[in-house]
Structure formats: C-alpha cells, structure tokens
Amino acid sequence: MRDVSSKELGWAERIELMGLLFLHGMALAAWFVPMGTVLQASGLGEWTPYAFGASAIAALMSPLFFGAMADRSFPPVQVLRWVSIGAGCFSWLVAYGLGQGWSGWLILALVQMQSLLSVPTNSLTNSIVFSRLVHSHRQFGSIRAMGTAGWMAGCWLVSGMHLDASARTFQLSACLWMVVSCYTLLIPQGVVEGAVRRMTLRQRFGLDALSLLRDRDHRAIFLTMALVAIPFAAFYPYTPAHMKSLGMERTSAWMSLGQVIEVAVMFAVGGLMVQWKLKPVIMVGLLCGLARYLLYAMDASIPLLAGVMLHGLAYTFVYISTQIYLAQRVDSAWRTRAQALLSLMVGGVGNFIGYLVTGSWLYWCRGEAGEVDWRSYWLGLAVLVTVVIVYFAVGYRGEGSRRVDSQDARG
C-alpha cells in the first residue's frame, strides 16, 4: 500500500490512528482474556487449551494470506473492515452456541474460524499505522500504546459488566468488532502499490514473504522473535496460577501491572530508538524477559509482581522495536506481508511450540501431590531465554541501513 501522507502527522491524524488501535485492543481483550473462565463456567473447561491454541493455528495460516491481499489486491483498511465483520459474526455465534449448549467440537470449530479472521488484524492495523508515519521510530511507540490501553479498557469493561464468566462477553466482543469495522470508514484507504494482475498460488497465499529470510539480519530477527516466544508463552497461562498458589487474589488486576508499564514505556520508546541502535534495544528487552523469570523463581509475591512489571519492558523492547525495524528496513510494497510474517513466526510458530513446551514442562515440575515446583519451572524457562539471547547476540549484526525492496525480496 502506498503511503497516504508524506508529511508529519497532525494531531487529528494521530488521534485517528490512536482511536483505531484503542478500539481494536478492546475487541481483542473482550474475546481473549475471559475465554478460559467462560469455557470453564460453561462446562467446557477441558477444551480451554485447544481454544487458546486456535489463535496459534490461525497465526500459522491466515496472516500471510491476508497480508498478501492487503499488499496486492485491496488496501489494508478495506481488508481490516471485512475481517472485523467476520470476526464479530463468529464471536456472536460462539456466544449463541454456548448458550444453547452446543458440543465442544462445534464450539472449538467456531472459535477457530473467529481466530482465523481476528489474528491477522494485528499485522493489518500495524501496516495501516506505519503507512501514515514518516518517522516510525519516533512516532509509533506513543500511537501503539493506545492498543495496550484499549486492551486494558476491554478487560475493565468486561469485569465492570460482570461478564468474566459469562458467554455474553463474546457478544460484547462482537459489538466491538463491528465498531472497529465502522471506524475504518473514517480512515483513508490509500492505494495498493504492489498490485499485480496475475499471481501464482505462492503469491496469493503470501508465501513469497518467506524470501525476506534470505537477508541475514532479517533471518536473525525473525528467528529470535519465534524462539523467544516459546518461553514467553508461559506468561499469561501460568503467572495467574502461580499467584493463586501464593494466596494472591484479583489476579487479572495484578496482571495489568505489566500493561501499565508497557503503555508508559511505549510513550518513551521513540526517543530511545533515536538514540540507540536496534540490537541493544532488543537485548535490553530479552534481558528483561530473563530477569522476569529469575524473579518468578524466587517463589514470593513481591518478586513475582516485580517480574510482571518487567513484562511491559520485555514486550515493548522486543516486539514493538521489531515492528518498527520492519517498517524502516522493508519496502512499503512488502510492509503488510513483513508484519504478517512476524505474526506468523511469533503468534504461530513460537506460541504453538511454546504452549506445548511450557505445558509439558509444567507437567514434569509437578510433585506427587500435584503441587508445582515453581522455582524449577521458571528457572528452566530462564535457561531457554538465555539460549535465545546468545543466538541473537551472535546472529544479528545490524550491518548497514539499506531497505529491502521488492526486487531484493524476489531475489
């Protein structure tokens, strides 16, 4: 998609993009966060890991397809509009099915369809924002922070309406997805820059984006993001369980500490990106992720909360900085596919393997009475993070500042 603006963003344009990410974050949170408790309350608790795994499967299948569509056939704004409508419809169907007592298999199929449509919206919204930014390294952090603020607002709205364990939270999510779709009517569509009349099957499914891995630095970045997602995948499923074992209540509120820090850091990350090169920024994020699990391994409430707060630093310095890197180093005609490939590597490959590895490791760390040896559990994951840090330190060189254009990517 061709950039729709070549000048600095005004306040109106900035607020427009912030509003999009805020509403998008609310829709995602109202669906994803209460899913486990809703399924448990509906008598489908045993289906919970499969429902969460649906997002990882979706990240393996759909982002590149919709990314290629947004780069070559339709503007990302238009693609986002239609997939948001689809995600909203399937969210409502899941709520209806739970209310009617449909089988777990049918509910899981609907959840998977919703995920196939909602997961690509992350890369689509990022592409829309980046297409409007002149200096992404300075501007993206403060705008992206509104996505996290929207996620927090979605969580608070669900709890405020007492829908934490009610299937009606998926109806709320459906309504929010429809609001996102309507909101896209306010955003300039732009022009599809990489449109081609005849495409191969490989191009239609966005698989040509894999050619970006030919570049050494790109390959190191994408592999680092996928590898670190494996130990990081334990954060949301098992931090609340550890809190419960320590006698802590209101775990959702405590977990939001990480997101509060994340918002604050994203408002400041632009200045840091100007002063530092990418490698030390990502290294700081990886080291924060390592420190988080080392604090968790102390098996006490205060260190655990300190580790939760480090989540904001780890997420921003690792993932947000990578999104900015792709916007700067990849040609605009490939922007959406590059962001989609990142979504595939992290949300698909990394998280899917991560759910399996961290879940299996938790099983091995259980005692005969079923209690978890949290010290051993988090130390084991800290070892994995350390391995990723060593790989990134050796694999990424950061040579030059050349942008990879479509000719480079085609080889």
**Topology, domain 206-411:** Growth Hormone; Chain: A; (1.20.1250)
- Residue 198 CB neighbours (<10 A): 5
Contact between residue 266 and residue 141 where contact means Cβ atoms under 8 Å apart? yes
Q: At what angle do helices 48-61 and 104-118 cross, to 10 degrees?
A: 40
- Residue 129 CB neighbours (<10 A): 23
Please measure the distance between the N-terminal and C-terminal CA atoms of the chain and give it in whole angstroms. 21
Per residue in 181-228, pLDDT tens? Answer: 999 999 887 655 544 445 554 544 445 566 677 778 888 988 999 999
Assign 3-state DSSP to the chain and report helix, strand, coil percentages, each to 5: 80, 0, 20
State the average pLDDT over residues 34-47. 81
Q: How far is CA 358 from CA 51, 194, 222, 350, 361, in A?
A: 16, 40, 21, 11, 5
User: In angstroms, rounded to a whole number, what is the distance separating the alpha carbons of residues 127 and 144?
Assistant: 12
Cross-strand partners of 191 = 2
**Topology, domain 1-190:** Growth Hormone; Chain: A; (1.20.1250)
Complete DSSP assignment for 138-207: HHHHHHHHHHHHHHHHHHHHHHHTT-TT-THHHHHHHHHHHHHHHHGGGS---B-SS--SS--HHHHTTG
- Asked if 1-190 and 206-411 have one fold, the answer is yes
Contact between residue 21 and residue 147 where contact means Cβ atoms under 8 Å apart? yes
Confidence of residue 240 (pLDDT cuts 50, 70, 90): confident
Please state, rounded to an integer, the average pLDDT across all residues of the chain. Answer: 80
Domain borders along the chain are 1-190, 206-411
Contact between residue 266 and residue 320 where contact means Cβ atoms under 8 Å apart? yes
How far, rounded to the nearest angstrom, does the alpha carbon of residue 177 sit from its chain's CA centroid?
17
Q: Which of 90-99, 137-146, 177-186, 241-250 has the lowest mean pLDDT?
A: 137-146
Long-range Cβ contacts of 163-166 (<8 Å, 24+ apart): 163/34, 164/34, 164/37, 164/38, 164/252, 165/34, 165/37, 165/38, 165/40, 165/41, 166/38, 166/41
Q: Is the pLDDT of residue 277 over 70?
A: yes
- Residue among 318, 203, 312 nearest 256 (CA): 312
* pLDDT computed for residue 201 by the predictor: 46
Residue linked to tokens 């899913």:
35
